[in-house]
Structure 1
Amino acid sequence: MLDTRNRTTRWMGGAAALAVAVSLTAAGSAGANDPEVGRDPAGIWAASLEGVHGVAPDVTVRQLARASVAGSGIRVRFGNPFGDAPVRIRDAWVGRNLAPGGARLIPGSNRPLTFRGSRTVAIAPGTVELSDPVPISVEAQQDLAVSVYAPGSPVNDHTFPPFAFDPPASYIGTGGNTAADPSDAAFPSVPVIPGNTSSTATGYHPGQTWWMDLVVAERPAARGTLVTLGDSITDGYQAIGPPGQRWTDVLTDRLNALPPGQRLAIANAGISGNTVSVQPNPYDPTGQCCGPPAPVRLDRDVLSVPGLRTVLLLEATNDLGGGDNAPPAPAAQVIDAMQTIIARLHARHVRVISATVLPMCNPADSTKEAARLAVNQWIRTSGTPDAVLDFDAVLRNPANPTEMTPDLRADCYHPNAAGDTLIGQSIPLQLLTR
């Protein structure tokens, strides 16, 4: 990861899938007759791909995705948005962990993934592939383990450092194709390799996943999907300390307490270091650390998610803060980007909820703070988003509104777990579910 000091209502309608994605079709699956399971597919987990880092060695990677809601008929999407050669998946399986965060699987739960009936698939540069549905079910907040063998393929990844044994995460195996093995013999839990940088070393990698960017349930226990589009604050970076959840996970727990007909799944499209406007990334001249700017990745990470009903937009910290590779953005640039994103979502009949930008410890008389206040004023008063969540008001320090309340922040840009909890609890569910 980069400099940790500076990282950070229209109604529904189905989102159009990417042209390169396999079309979603109904398929028989476990739970098909369950009256509490939805009729339309929905994205129940996501971890947006951010860059390409090296080539996969001759190993299997077992990746963990924690379902936001229960569902059955599981499909997994793999992407190669940044590679200059195909990702060649030779074998892929999906199963359920015996224990949360672990690599050992429940006996009999591991099933092979197919792609239009084939056990192998080549994902061309710039495209994605969605697996056929697998007749297994998953409970809310239960892990799915996706094991992939694709040696020699460009590693398109997602990286950030969460808590140990709290997905997303991966176990990189000791060698060869061990995707079908339900044991953890080939997937050692030590050493623990920090997820803030890409690595191909054998061991446990909290926060790192390869190729896998979306899990879909053909029959979800929800009426659709909420995509949270953002940067490191949405990704969950620095949500440290008790109770140890990202704000999106806190919100997931609250939504799961609702009846399935009101409930939304959550697909987290946060990328640490991401920008809301189209500009050079402030931290990385290679452009491979932090994902393309939000307008560039909107089709893949948001509009292609099945069941999309609402987007919660929380970005701009990295634009307004700037870095060694890009100066701080003016308010007009950020507002223009937000207007563009909202207009594109509204054109697809997707509802947009915008959140205000959190305090950043900039001096009250600084250009950066003036720009942040101008952006927040636009979010609160323009009427462009369908609803507004004032996260700035939730976390700012009453004694110094240019910073977050000290007990709620990990650093100047990021809440700690207590701050994330307060954000997740502050969101009126009726804004999401009505």
Structure 2
Amino acid sequence: MTFQLTDELLENITSLINLQNDRELTTLFEEYHFADIAEIIDDLTLDQATYLIKLLDSQRTSDILMELEEEVRERILDNLSAKEIAEEVEEMDSDDAADVISELPSNRVENVISQIEDEDRAKDIVELLSYEENSAGGLMAKELVRVRETWTVAGCVRKMRSQAKNVTRVHSVYVVDKHDKLIGRLSLKDLLTSDTATKISEIYIPKVDFVNVHTEAEEVARIMQKYDLEAIPVVDDLNRLVGRVTIDDILDFIRDEAEKDYQMAAGLSQDVEADDSILRHTRARLPWLVLGLLGGLGAAMIMGSFEDILENYTILFFFTPLIAAMAGNVGVQSSAIIVQGLANDDLKESLVNRLLKEMLLALLNGVILAILLLGFTYMWKGDFLTALAISLSLIIVIVVAGLVGTFVPLFLHKRDIDPAIATGPFITTSNDIFGILIYFYIAKMVLGI
């Protein structure tokens, strides 16, 4: 049955916390999944949430903490001692433990790590913290099952049993040489059907996909998607097996990147949530709104320089919003397709071919829309020359907007700048200005003013 957080349940939990009825609370939460408990904690006060985290055992709360919203988790961790945080991270996979510790203030990181009793776990976390966040090393977990090529099947099974205790899911078994260099993978079917005295070197599969610790997370995601992998091993610069990236880590990364790109395209300069403070929302929105304001002022100044045309052909004024809107829409459409192609690594054409294709596409769309606009304007006002000027302007505006929307994200990508920035107010504002400028120049030329 699907879990539902009701007001009655929340009131009951709040009441038990206020009464400090630990026995009933512990019994109540035994039947809930850790993700459901995280949903409950998100609706509690900070003191109530901290009380529950301290009450429940670390094996459960370590999972609960990873399900919480990042800001909620940070506030709870602020209320825990270094020893209590260390107890939580010792129950987590190494990649989750590193993520949690990386969220702590710099002055607490060393204290927490020093409280971790398992020295190997502490070393693993320190190693993971040394890698770039959006790299294979930053995403990987140290827990995996590795076997040596010199082992027999019987010895391999014994070693795997002890290793698997620390691994949540065994996606693959990796084969290494005596220097821990990755040389292949092992099929469980081959392991189960082979004689116990058979050497692993005789049955392992030498072909294995892998990435380097410095490989960018986007490239890791692309490889795993292309080859439909649930996990991929990670090696260091000496080709030694140091960890693995699992599909859940990649899904989290893709979700975070998608949210960031969506907000950037919508004109938000930083990551925000719906329930964030007004001040945080203002800081996120204001920079792009200022850009929009400057763009609007630029468009107004351009229109002001064509007062003579507007005085004689007032109808041009009424079509100004249409021209600006079409320029912005076409530019956003073009840039969105390019950004998506860059994200999926689907763009194989050269820049010239891409621009030529976009120009032809924009020209075709522009001609069709211009014919419709020409007919409407002529029937409305009965002035063919003015209708022609507006329609020709629309064609050129659409072509230019398509080229700008294509070129800008490609240019940003070449400069290692997130091209998602091009799909938001940046493209809309720039194309509005270009559109208005082109519109009045074409009208001036056609109408002979």
> Normalization by structure 2: what TM-score?
0.22
Structure showing the higher helix proportion among its residues: 2
Computing the radius of gyration over CA atoms, which structure comes out larger, 1 or 2? Answer: 2
> Normalization by structure 1: what TM-score?
0.22
